[in-house]
Structure formats: C-alpha cells, structure tokens
Structure 1
Amino acid sequence: MSFLAAPVIELAAVTLRLGSAAGPVDILRGIDLSVEAGQSIGLIGPSGSGKSTLLAVMAGLEKPTSGTVTVAGQPLHTLDEDRLARFRRDNVGIVFQSFHLIPTMTALENVAIPLELAGDAGARDKAAAELGRVGLAHRLDHYPAQLSGGEQQRVALARAVIAGPRILFADEPTGNLDSHTGETIVELLFGLGRDAGATLVLVTHDPALAARCDRRLRLADGRIIADERP
C-alpha cells in the first residue's frame, strides 16, 4: 500500500480584495494551488498580475479575503498575528529584493536574529558558519552600508536559511543586482535550498531563473493561467 504525502502548500479558492480611493480592487481571484515538498516553483507574469501578493499570502505575510491557505500543515487563514509570526520563525525563510537588513546591526547580528529570537544560545556561532557558506566569513563585523548589493543579498540569504526552513520564499531576489552578481545569488539560492531540503517559491521576471524551477506558474489578472512543468 502506498500513501501520498500531504502538500506542503495548499490554497483553495483564495481571493484578496483591497480597498483603494477608486473602490475595491481584486488582487487575487480564486487561486487553487498544491505544492509538493521539495519542489521549486517560479511565479511569473506581468507586473500587477498578483505574483508578489500570492507569495505574501503563502508566506503568511498577507491574509486572504476568502479561501483557505494551509502551509506545512498549518491553516494560516485561522491564525492571529502572533501565531503567524511564530509560524514564520519556525517554518519559513524569506528573501526580498531590497534585502531588508537592519542597518544598525552587523552582518553577523542580522543573520543571528532568527535564532536569537528562538532562544538559541549558539546563534552567533551558527550565524558565522552560515555567512562562511555564502562567502562572507571576512565580513562578519561589517554593517549593511559597508557591503555591496550582492553582499547584502548574501547576508539576507544566510539569514533566510539559518533556521533550516521547510519553505524558502524569494521575491525578485536578483532584481537589484547586476547580471553577474545575480547569477551568483541564484546559484546560492538553489544550492542553499537544496542543502536544507526546502521547498522554494520565487517571484521573478527573469526567464532564465524561472527556467531552473520544477514548475512555472504563470499569473495574469490575479489568476493562475498556466502551470508549466518542464
């Protein structure tokens, strides 16, 4: 007898409506999605199609207007903000286009934050090791302003994976980088995700980056219009 593993991400009839000066705007319109553990998913489509919003809903950063969102066995649509924050801390790593590093903290301190919040006494040592994995062992005591864009994104990657997340989300992770630096970040992103055994969900406008994913979900007008599996 064989058993199918439960999806690590499952969305059913998810909608998101936001208010605006011109009236309500439908950002997501009835999204149904099932993602297996360990898959890499590329969210593609034109600007304004709902890619980043869909990622935010899956990561527990945005609550849907209706529908259900179950991630790593947790029904996110039922959790309050405190429980969502704990869920993200324990299950999710997120990499943003604009890095989101704390400017008054060193690279080491930025990476150690998730483990320190979880009460891990070895947070600093683990952060140093993670920065070494992304090639920044010589930059531990540097502040974000003293780092290049590519180095800041490496710090953000190290922070995202340090707690061994089940799911790694990345929103345009190479959008602010030149092509050479972006390729380095892509290699690190896929390598770190693979080493952690994490499911990877990323938003990108880069066809080459999307082509590396197991699946490409094409969005338009808040709907998934194609599920491409190379």
Structure 2
Amino acid sequence: MIKLSDIHLTLKSDAGPVNILRGIDLTVQQGETVGIVGPSGSGKSTLMSIMAGLELPTSGSVEIVGQKFENLDEDALARFRRANIGIVFQSFHLIPTMTALENVAIPLELAGEKDAFSAAADRLEAVGLADRATHYPAQLSGGEQQRVALARAMSTTPRILLADEPTGNLDGKTGEIIIDLMFRLHEKEGTTMVLITHDDALARKCTHQVRLEDGRVVSRETSQEEVLAGE
C-alpha cells in the first residue's frame, strides 16, 4: 500500500544544505496501522508530507497504492490524493466561514459526488456530530473540530488515512476519544492508517511502530498482539 525506497530530502539554507531525511525505507501493507514516533525535528511530519505527495523527495522512490509519485505532476498528484488519501492535521485546517457539514462536503464535491451533502451528513453522524452540522468551527470545541476534520478526511472513503499529531491540540480525555474513533473507523472500513505522534503509548496501539531519529529509521517493531496472531 505504501512503499518508500531510499528517501532523501535535502533543503538549501544560508548555512548550507540541511538533510531532513537520510535514506528512509518503509513499507506499509494494506490494512496495517503504523505509529511513527521520534523526537521533534526527526523528520516525522516531513515523511508524512512525502507519503501524501505534498512534498517531493530530493531522491528516492515513493509508491502509493501501486502509483509512483515521480511520474505525476502537481495536478495529477492532487487528483490521486483526493481519490486515495485522507489527511488529518494537528491544527484541524477547517474553513472558518463554512459549517461543519460544508467542510466535510468539500472533498466530495471536488470528487464530483452528486449527493455530496447527504454523504457528508452520514460522515458527521459516524463521528457523533449530526446535531452540529450547521455550526461553524468557532462554535465547536477543539475535540469537535477534530472530529469534523476526521469526517472530512474519511468522506471519500480513502484507502489510506494519514494523521499528523491528531491529538496534539487536545486535552488527554478528548484525545483518547478521537483516537478511539479513528481506530473504530479503521476497523470498520479497513483503511490503512499511519499516525505521526510523539506519544509512545498511542503508537503502541498500532500494529507496527517505527521510530525516526535524525531523519533515519532507527527501529521498527510489531505489536505483541500481531506477533501472537501470526503464530
């Protein structure tokens, strides 16, 4: 489902080149959940951007759902992302002048869905916000905004869900609710899920845990439940 081969990303600066990613190799199979952890500055969010096609590596190969990104221009990447990848950001990225329902309907309308608002209403109901459909982001709590963002990310039934610190702006209890919701949707729909997090406990909820340090993968572990299931 996700295959990254020898991914390097080097950025220019006044002080010289800055190596953000230094030869990342990573494979994620269909239906897996992967928690990517590591200290600040280790390259976690950059790696997610590369998986999503929001940023291109300096060198190496990105292959998502059998499609190599180096063969796509920006417009083709946007179309591919819309059809295959849902993204949840730490800061929600909701459009403040649109209601919860309108925010969730955006990707459906872009995809040409005829019943975009009906499908969006179903997604809001799935995250427990049917009664907040006409509310604007400023009228919602942080947890509610993140649930709207999750509903939007899942609105087109993507094959892959990428989440960058999805609980970073939430209190502990609200964060647990969001994570439980994400895993329930994953189990229901079989979505491949990659979580970028600083929380080791959250990463251990995933089938696999990958640790980055200084732009490199330093370890990859499989959860004990997965080990026992394979025996």
TM-score (norm 1): 0.95
Structure 2 counterparts to residues 151-166 of structure 1, below 5 A: 151-166=144-159
Looking at structure 2, the residues matched to 80 and 193 of structure 1 have their Cα atoms a distance apart, in angstroms, of 30
1:23 is aligned with what amino acid?
G
| Number of residue pairs aligned between Structure 1 and Structure 2 | 223
Q: Partner residue of 1:34?
A: 27
Cross-structure match for 1:4: none
Q: Which residue of 2 aligns with 1:131?
A: 124
Contact preservation (8 Å) 1:43, 1:204: yes
Secondary structure of 2:13's counterpart equals: coil
**Uncovered stretches (5+) of structure 2, i.e. residues with no partner:** 224-231
Q: 1:78: how far off?
A: 2.3
- How much has 1:135 moved relative to structure 2? 0.9
Q: Which residue does the alignment assign to 1:191? A: 184
1:45 aligns with 2:38: yes
Give, in angstroms, the shift of residue 174 of structure 1.
Answer: 0.1
> Over aligned residue pairs, what C-alpha RMSD do you find?
0.7
Query: Any conservation in 2 of the 1:165–1:196 contact (CA below 8 Å)?
Result: no
Distance in 2, Cα, partners of 1:76 & 1:192: 27
Distance of 1:64 and 1:79 partners within structure 2: 13
Post-superposition Cα deviations, 1:89-118, rounded to whole Å, max 9, x if no partner, equal: 000000000000011110000000111001
Contact 1:64 1:77 in 2 (8 A): no
Pairing 1:93–2:96 present: no
Secondary structure of the residue that 1:113 maps to in structure 2? helix
Spell out structure 1 runs of 4+ moving beyond 6 A: none
Cα distance, 1:129 vs structure 2: 1.0
2:226 matched residue in structure 1? none
How far is 1:77 from its partner?
2.3
Distance 1:9 1:167 in 2: 9
Aligned residue number for residue 134 of structure 2: 141
Q: Distance in 2 between matches of 1:78 and 1:30?
A: 20
Alignment of 1:1-230 (within 5 A): 8-230=1-223
Secondary structure at the residue paired with 1:83? helix
Q: What is the CA–CA distance in structure 2 between the aligned matches of 1:52 and 1:77, rounded to whole Å?
A: 20
The answer for the alignment partner of 1:5 in structure 2 is: none
Q: Does the residue aligned with 1:99 lie in a helix, a strand or coil?
A: coil
Instruction: Work out the CA distance in 1 between the residues paired with 2:104 and 2:14.
Output: 39
1:121 is displaced (CA, Å) by 1.1
**Cα deviation code 1:135-156 (max 9, x no counterpart):** 1111001110110100000000
In structure 1, the gaps of 5 or more residues are 1-7
How far is the alpha carbon of 1:193 from its aligned partner? Answer: 1.9
1:52-103 Cα deviation digits (max 9, x unpaired): 1111111111100001000001101221110000001000000000000011
Measure, in 1, the Cα distance between the counterparts of 2:135 and 2:52: 29
